[in-house]
Structure 1
Amino acid sequence: MNTEFRKTLPGTRLDYFDTRAAVDAIKPGAYDTLPYTSRVLAENLVRRCDPATLNASLSQLIDRKRDLDFPWFPARVVCHDILGQTALVDLAGLRDAIAQQGGDPAQVNPVVPTQLIVDHSLAVECGGYDPEAFEKNRAIEDRRNEDRFHFIEWTKKAFKNVDVIPPGNGIMHQINLEKMSPVIQVRDGVAFPDTCVGTDSHTPHVDSLGVIAIGVGGLEAESVMLGRASWMRLPEIVGVELTGKLQPGITATDMVLALTEFLRKQKVVGAWLEFFGEGAAALTLGDRATISNMAPEYGATAAMFYIDQQTIDYLKLTGREDQQVQLVENYARVSGLWADSLKGAQYERSLSFDLSSVVRNMAGPSNPHARVATTDLAAKGIAGQWDDVPGQMPDGAVIIAAITSCTNTSNPRNVIAAGLMARNANKLGLSRKPWVKTSLAPGSKTVALYLDEAGLTHELEKLGFGVVAFACTTCNGMSGALDPAIQQEIIDRDLYATAVLSGNRNFDGRIHPYAKQAFLASPPLVVAYAIAGTIRFDIEKDVLGLDASGKEIRLKDIWPSDEEIDAVVKAAVKPEQFRQVYIPMFAIHEDTGPKVEPLYDWRPQSTYIRRPPYWEGALAGARPLKGMRPLAVLPDNITTDHLSPSNAIMLDSAAGEYLAKMGLPEVDFNSYATHRGDHLTAQRATFANPKLFNEMVIEDGKVKQGSLTRLEPEGKVMRMWEAIETYMERKQPLIIIAGADYGQGSSRDWAAKGVRLAGVEAIAAEGFERIHRTNLVGMGVLPLEFLPGTNRKTLQIDGSETYDVVGERTPRATLTLVITRKNGERLEVPVTCRLDTAEEVSIYEAGGVLQRFAQDFLESATA
């Protein structure tokens, strides 16, 4: 620990580091111009680095030298049970590999505090109109996930520094916001800013508190767990000034959907954003959290707000200890992290967004940044005429209406607004349509408490929005089965069915296999669509029903006023509710059970947990970058849902056929996500999304949709998994060619693991989303970026070619992609090596993060 700039925090016995003095010692006056993010990163360095590294790294930070590696030391890791469990499966496999080489497996432990929240494994099999939905869904979750939960229980005892929050308690991001993040940490008598990485792209949710928290893939999280710095190129820090204020009747969801569209157009992919201005200062912490949560939807790495009075008020509201609240305020004021101290901050790029311009919005039909104003639904061809035939579902039937996702359920105003909408609708005799599967899945148990306090629980239940879970559900594709009769009608009539949810993701094929498209909306709008029953309904104009006197009822007649929402929030949301939920949840329980062995006893028949293969065979051998054949040629905006879907497994899929062969009944196939601890199941999800468009597969002059590819050199079209199996048998190295923004969406390490196990050695794309690119490097897959003006179309790539990569792999070097066409023509194309740092080159050359750690561990043990 660096001690040169150590001081004592006024009014306490705690020490802190005078980062202003450290920065100004290198460049006088520089501190006052640094953005908030740079100040927190500087504090991290001053606390952790030796003087030589400190001076060099602070110089980079001040001068924005992006061509050099920069170390960051997150204080903790937060995980949900899908990527978090997968990371721990990898560490258990690493222990086996270490033991086989004569090392001590018990020495392989996270050295950074790691919090695992089991929140991604529950499917909404029972909708919110069933009064026993919560208990039934939890029982199904426990039955289906027995293998997974057995392994998680072992990790609690086998690994040091791992804390587990069991299922049924909420979503990791909302728990992180409401309890886990102290904003200012204290360890060994030293206070410092909280920082964390999380195995979910929505980890920036807690950035709203002024905490640098970014989403990473499981592989990068594993590296941080094991004590390595998170190395990066210094990001672009963009200031986003929020001006004006929201109009009456406009929710935080409307605001964030408008911001998502705006920021995508401003190309902030990979940037770290800081929101400031009078508009930002006036936003509640709940509204700020809604903005920060959706950082991955507009492509940013972080979405920061300053620490100010809103932060302090929120910490008090959520029941934090008085001493901790005072520490946050004192520290921020003394250290230069309080909002008033940032008025001189200088940004490399500044944007401005007027909150008063926001109207009521939705996003869809398949991307979070595809905003559409509710007044424009008809003009956009979404709303329109439909046949209202008694006993039949209409065109555009809304088969799922879900109030879900921490994006909105961490914002009391949004949830209370939905409850008041339900109350108003019930008073006028409105009801949900019978084909709509409704649900309420809050990210925290506190939501149920303040809805009870407000007298709104029964109102929501009456419309079918009873609590089905405290977990990440529909937004993650865990929407559960439909009523068999409804599903059969969709099939028989080839019905265009849709979903409306208050989540953050609506990619094609994600929400439900029979929901052809999905729309994001605020919680009160979700209630309205449950009543309307079809996306063809013009939600602003059409008649929802008639009251007792025969008067027409429209949306405006049941929409609650801002004044009423605010009054109910003030009266019903109380600090004691948060204490009631979180004090017992985080109480320290002494584990008196039997000790466990340091090596996990793998269950050979498990389809959930299996020893990973990353230290075996070709994965641990040489890196052939010659004679590669394309597995797929892909368009722009390929998401990790295309690469490795998370939704329900269908019987006729490659994974479904495998599970049936393993003796698993179809009713318990569960989701792709829950099986990611077993590579034999998970690798069959590679490109298994039925909405995939692989440009190698052409039918009648058009790209055919489906999980398909063309086997080469035969030119035979077949299902993706069968082609992968064939290539694996041939030991054929593969490449993927893609367009812009490759790897959008969830921080899904299996989107990289799946292609690596398939034999993919390199991916050449026009651009990569940050987290996925890091995951590729972590799995030993080489990311290559076409130079501007060059792409698969200008090169006339059709998938019949073979590819070689020539050149020395150094950070961001220009390499040569040699394309050999079927007719023998040879083309040499310059590409950028997207190994961005020396650390990434080292990881790639070792074969990946896990191989690199095993090598270092054994070398250290030998020394």
Structure 2
Amino acid sequence: MNQDPFKIKSSLKTESGTYDYWSLEKLQQSGKNIKKLPFSIRILLENALRNFDDFSITKEHLNTLLNWKPEPSDEDIPYKPARVLMQDFTGVPAVVDIASLRSEAKRKGKDPGMINPLIPVDLVIDHSVQVDYFGTNYSYQRNVEVEYERNAERYQFLKWAQKSFDNFSVVPPGMGICHQVNLEYLAQGVILRDGKVFPDTLVGTDSHTPMVNGIGVVGWGVGGIEAEAALLGQPIFFIMPEVVGLKLTGKLPAGTTATDMVLTITELLRKHGVVGKFVEVYGPGLDNLSVPDRATISNMSPEFGCTVTYFPIDDRTLDYMGKTNRSKDQIKLVEDYCKANMLWRKDEELIQYSSVVELDLGTVEATVSGPKRPQDKILVRNFKPKFEELLQAVHGREYIPIDKREEVARFVEEGGGQTEDQSHEKAPAETEIKTKIKNGLKSVSVKLHNEKFELYDGSIVIAAITSCTNTSNPSVMLGAGLVARKARQLGLDVKPWVKTSLAPGSKVVTDYLEKSELLEDLEALKFHTVGYGCTSCIGNSGPLPRHIAQAVEDNDLVVASVLSGNRNFEARVHPQVKMNYLMSPMLVVVYAIAGRVDVDLYNEPLGYDPNLEPVYMEDIWPTNEEIAEVARKVLTPDDYQKNYGEIFEGNDIWRELQSGEGEIYPWDESSTYIKEAPFFKGISVDVPDAKDIVNARVLLKLGDSITTDHISPAGSFRPDTPAGKYLVGRGVERPDFNSYGSRRGNDEVMVRGTFANVRIKNQLSTQEGGFTKYIPDDEEMSVFDASQKYQLSGTPLIVLAGKEYGSGSSRDWAAKGTNLLGIKAVVAESYERIHRSNLVGMGVLPLQFQKGESAEILGLTGFEEFSILGIENGLKAGQIFDAKAVTKDGKEIDFKVKSRLDSEVEIAYYKHGGILNYVLRDFLKD
């Protein structure tokens, strides 16, 4: 380790001492053109140079990085991050895996205590809080109490891990969202370790890890599988990325927000095509963006489809570090190192990019995105007609203007449309009303106690100020508070059918909202703090109030949510909410007041003051100067010092939580939360031979844009699902089900939840949801039940899919569950990066149709028998295999598929049956 083939190891003299570093400047002086390399590639190069051992990281890898070119490459490169970030949904199964590795090592006669993280791991418990209580000053405390009741066993397990593992720390519940904690506290820009100084780099078990790119730190989201390999000392290998330059010019117009900007960029980069690529931001527009603005952009890298969205370190970075209470010594070290090692933002015009996308920030307008993809941008001025269009096109309902709804409702109430249809004898207006009743927008009258109101298609039932994307940005959070203040002063309130919530990403947000007295205004509009963690973005919205839920369910209403988040996939925010829109925290407050999405904010009033004067959005929208003035008064480093000085302590419940001791976790067979992983039990020391896939059946045939939410849901589930039946069979009551995400430490629950999303559309089934057809008997059943029958008969399974398979969050259970269902291969038109890697990491073969081909073009129905031939003849990266589908009547369809094992290391992982099997066998042999 730490060989130096180019003789560039140098000494950096700083005010705090002299440290070793690997000098890119020396490479430049030796004739290597480092100045043309994007900054993100320079950091990967430094990483490989410093970790070079001529075994896992070779001279060929170094030359690949040194000779980076803008064109696409099929060469793989290594990456050894300096640290790992985890959240509890993905962290619990990762810790279960490591504990399971220890158990198997002990059974094999090895010392289990030798299995530890080799680099620092920070796990932030932030994904388990659920919005059960809202709109009151006791909401936060009640939600915390319920969170501990539901998750005590998981938290005890994590406390055991913190005591048992080296290099492993846990941030207790209620302290913040992992990405915001990373940005504000954990990220250092430059790391000093063992007398060496080098760039801060990481991987995180959450797809929004790139948020930290905004502070100049290279890091991205991986599945728990890759993260486990990294923390166990394995390099992460991936194909040399193209780097797209995002050139920003100008500045945001008055009245627009960082959220409007990032939703604009999401659509722009999705259209350009950045899947699997790096994006690096440059241009004069950077000088007009704060680090929180930059982090807002970087946070949504997975929504763009790229791996990172990197902002080089500059004076703005140092200024932010000072404001967030990094030490003066640390800030000076960052400056000295980056300037000495060609990592300081300058000479941008010399850098070569694979392609360039330009955006004049001055063209950004108020924007929302939805109703089910973050890239589906809608300008606020076009939102109302777009809703009308979607209601008709997607849900088959004609839009009824608000001024006509009373007429329709009155007609129904008086019995119109209830008699026999004699429309030819009716007046034209009456005929039109009857048609609208039959085909039009639905409404229902709701009464609770003395309150009565009408719910319509388009009514907003959830308004959530949530997510690391925006709650880390003081400008939009203070802006939301000012909107609430102005609305309150004019006598406006949110509508009674709207479930409101405020879930900041750190307690610092609460401090500055309290100091500015804006928290009082938000709470007056029922935006009370419900917790510090991920809520609506990941499906932890909690239940709708009973009367609202019943009205929506009984009348099949197409209701909406508005949230300041990053994810709005189908059934993700809430299973009863079919339209979900991303927007700034400020617009969340505005729409909560309006109570519906079909409102023209520029021309229609939000409501009326006590004197019946109309109040418009412009009346309550703060100026940039107002926001900046409040920010100057309330933002101080002291808030960061206070909150992060006690971040590992937790509350009284955490401190009193009991946990076990010892190197081996005491697995409880009766547990429905924590269960030893089945992947390593009885593992052979020798590597099994790779085999062809012969006479396989299709378990699911899917379309485009299948997300990891479709594959491995994170939200709630019902008692009549396979996972629900499993828990009921073990005495778990429905209120104690918790969520799929919280059950990720139990493979029995998770395998039953794989492909169980209520909105997934399997083309083999006549039903929406987690159903398929067991082909031999022509019988429809759950995906899990069918997989069990196939596995009993020894039938291998495959999945057929379209474009962008596996987009969305970095869920390792989307791959683990695929493995446990007996699926040997996925054949798709294209993949999103993380899920493809996770499939390899679980020993599932990712295959790709030839360019221009698909299941539809080849005439594949999914009811054929499939064979993939050539696997057992020796594997190569990007290999082309022969595939054959045989129909029921014996007709053969021959075609080719490309292996998406993209490197020799991935081939090794696949042969071993997964990356952790590879690591364990290496340990057992050593």
Q: Which residue, 5, 18, 22 being the options, matches 2:8?
A: 5
Q: What residue in structure 1 maps to residue 223 of structure 2?
A: 217
Judge conservation of contact 2:10–2:23 (CA < 8 Å) in 1: no
What corresponds to 2:63 in structure 1? 59
Structure 2 CA distance for aligned equivalents of residues 607 and 271 of structure 1: 39
Mapped contact 2:886–2:893 kept (Cα < 8 A): yes
What residue in structure 2 maps to residue 815 of structure 1?
881
Quote the residue 2:27 is aligned against.
Answer: 23
* Separation of aligned partners in 2, 1:160 and 1:720: 40
Paired position in structure 1 for 2:676: 611
Residues 346-425 of structure 1 aligned to structure 2 (within 5 Å)? 346-382=352-388, 385-386=401-402, 387=405, 390-425=452-487
Q: Residues of 2 paired with 1:594 and 1:515: CA distance?
A: 39
Distance in structure 2 (CA, Å) of the matches to 1:451 and 1:601: 44
* 2:419 corresponding residue in structure 1: none
Cα RMSD, aligned residues only: 2.1
1:487 alignment partner, one of 549, 553, 558: 549
Aligned residues: 853
Give the aligned partner of residue 265 of structure 1: 271
- Which residue identity does 2:50 align to in structure 1? R
What does 1:823-862 correspond to in 2, within 5 Å? 823-860=889-926
Which of 758, 781, 801 lines up with 1:690 in the alignment? 758
1:231-250 to 2 correspondence within 5 Å? 231-250=237-256
Q: 2:866 — aligned with what?
A: 803
Q: Give the whole-Å Cα distance in 2 for the aligned partners of 1:18 and 1:99.
A: 40
Within 2, Cα distance between the matches of 1:824 and 1:593?
62
Paired with 1:100 and 1:54, the residues of 2 have a C-alpha distance of 35
Q: Quote how far apart the aligned CAs of 1:64 are.
A: 2.8
Tell me, yes or no, if structure 1 residue 180 matches structure 2 residue 183: no
Partner of 1:105: 112
User: Counterparts of 1:559-598 in structure 2 under 5 Å?
Assistant: 559-586=621-648, 596-598=661-663
Q: Does the aligned pair in 1 maintain the 2:692–2:868 contact within 8 Å?
A: no
| Contact in 1 for aligned 2:279/2:308 (Cα 8 Å) | yes
Equivalent-residue separation in structure 1 for 2:821 and 2:692 (angstroms): 14
The DSSP-based 3-state class of the residue aligned with 1:585 is: coil
The 2-side partners of 1:87 and 1:739 are apart by 29
Rounded to whole Å, the distance in 2 between the matches of 1:618 and 1:391 is 62
SS at match of 1:375: helix
What is the aligned counterpart of 1:554 among 616, 630, 634?
A: 616
What do the CA deviations read for 1:746-803 (whole angstroms, capped 9, x no partner)?
0000111111100000000010000000110010000001111110111111111111
1:48 aligned partner: 51
CA contact (8 A) 2:121 2:169 kept: yes
- The yes-or-no answer on 1:79 pairing with 2:86 is yes
Q: Does 1:661 align with 2:706?
A: no
Counterpart of 2:316 in structure 1 is 310
- Aligned equivalent of 2:532, options 460, 470, 474: 470
Asked whether the equivalents of residues 46 and 54 of structure 1 are also in contact (C-alpha less than 8 Å), the reply is no
Cα distance change on mapping 1:22 and 1:232 into 2, 3 Å: farther
C-alpha distance 758-22 of structure 1, shift in aligned 2 (>3 A):
farther
Alignment partners' CA distance in 2, 1:747 and 1:264: 18
Q: Which has the larger radius of gyration?
A: 2
1:452 to 501, 511, 514: 514
Q: Distance in 1 between matches of 2:840 and 2:826?
A: 11
**Paired residue type of 1:612:** A
Q: How does 1:740-819 map to 2 (within 5 A)?
A: 740-807=803-870, 808-819=874-885
Match of 1:68 in 2: 75
Query: TM-score normalized by structure 1?
Result: 0.96
SS at match of 1:607: coil
Per the alignment, residue 677 of structure 1 pairs with 745
The amino acid of 1:62's aligned partner reads L
User: Matches of 1:164 and 1:94 in 2, distance apart?
Assistant: 20
Identity %: 41
Deviation, 1:375, is 0.7
SS of the residue corresponding to residue 857 of structure 2 reads coil
Give the TM-score, by structure 2 length.
0.89
Q: Aligned-pair distance for 1:718? A: 2.3
Q: Secondary structure at the match of 1:584?
A: coil
The amino acid across from 2:596 in the alignment is T
Counterpart position of 1:512: 574
The answer as to whether partners of 1:713 and 1:800 remain within 8 angstroms in 2 is no
Once the two structures are overlaid, the 10-residue window that deviates more, 42-51 or 280-289, is 42-51
SS at match of 1:799: coil
Letter in 2 for 1:831: V
What letter is aligned with 2:711? L
Q: 1:245 to 1:592 in 2, by over 3 A?
A: closer
One-letter code aligned to 2:550: Q
Deviation, structure 1 residue 730: 2.3
Contact 1:336 1:342 in 2 (8 A): no
SS in 1 for 2:763: strand
Distance 1:518 1:591 in 2: 39
Match of 1:156 among 138, 162, 171: 162
Once the two structures are TM-superposed, the CA of residue 55 in structure 1 deviates from its matched residue by: 4.0
Is 1:543–2:612 an aligned residue pair?
no
Do the aligned residues in 2 keep the contact of 1:243 with 1:353 (CA within 8 Å)?
Answer: yes
**Matched position secondary structure for 2:148:** helix
Deviation at 1:621?
6.7
CA separation of 1:258/1:792 partners in 2, compared to 1, >3 Å: closer, same or farther?
same
1:596 corresponds to which letter in structure 2? E
Matched residue SS, 2:777: coil
Residue 292 and residue 169 in structure 1: after superposition, are their counterparts in 2 closer, same or farther (change >3 A)?
Answer: same
Deviation at 1:394, TM superposition (A): 2.4
- Give the conservation status (yes or no) of the 8 Å contact 1:272–1:301: yes
Q: CA deviation at 1:22?
A: 5.2
Tell me: CA distance 1:593–1:85, structure 2 relative to 1, closer, same or farther (3 Å): closer
What SS class does the counterpart of residue 798 from structure 1 fall into?
Answer: coil
State the match for 2:436 in structure 1.
none
Between the aligned partners of 1:721 and 1:455, the Cα distance in structure 2 is 52
Distance of 1:706 and 1:337 partners within structure 2: 49
Alpha-carbon deviation of 1:248? 0.8
CA drift of 1:827 comes to 2.4
SS of residue paired to 2:670: coil
Is the CA contact (8 Å cut-off) linking 1:14 and 1:191 kept in structure 2? no
Extract unaligned runs of 5+ from structure 2. Answer: 390-398, 407-444, 446-451
1:96 aligns with 2:103: yes
Match of 2:795 in 1: 732
CA separation of 1:763/1:617 partners in 2, compared to 1, >3 Å: closer, same or farther?
farther
Report the equivalent of 1:701: none
Separation in 2, partners of 1:107, 1:60: 34
Q: CA deviation at 1:41?
A: 1.1
CA contact (8 A) 1:208 1:288 kept: yes
- 1:78-120 Cα offsets, whole Å, 9 max, x none, are 0001111110101111111111211111111111111111111
**Residue 705 of structure 1: CA displacement?**
2.5
Q: What letter corresponds to residue 869 of structure 2 in structure 1?
A: V
Superposition deviation, residue 215 in structure 1: 0.4
CA contact (8 A) 1:395 1:536 kept: no
Distance 1:255 1:812 in 2: 38
CA distance 1:595–1:821, shift in 2 (3 Å): closer
8 Å Cα contact 2:104/2:682 also seen in 1:
no
Letter of the 1:856 counterpart: D
Contact 1:19/1:42 (<8 A) preserved: no
Q: Output the CA distance in 2 between the equivalents of 1:655 and 1:497.
A: 27
- 8 Å Cα contact 1:19-1:46 kept in structure 2: no
Shift in Å, 1:550 = 2.3
Q: Distance in 2 between matches of 1:350 and 1:391?
A: 51
Quote the Cα distance in structure 2 between the aligned partners of 1:804 and 1:786. Answer: 14
Indicate the larger mover: 373-382 or 35-44.
373-382
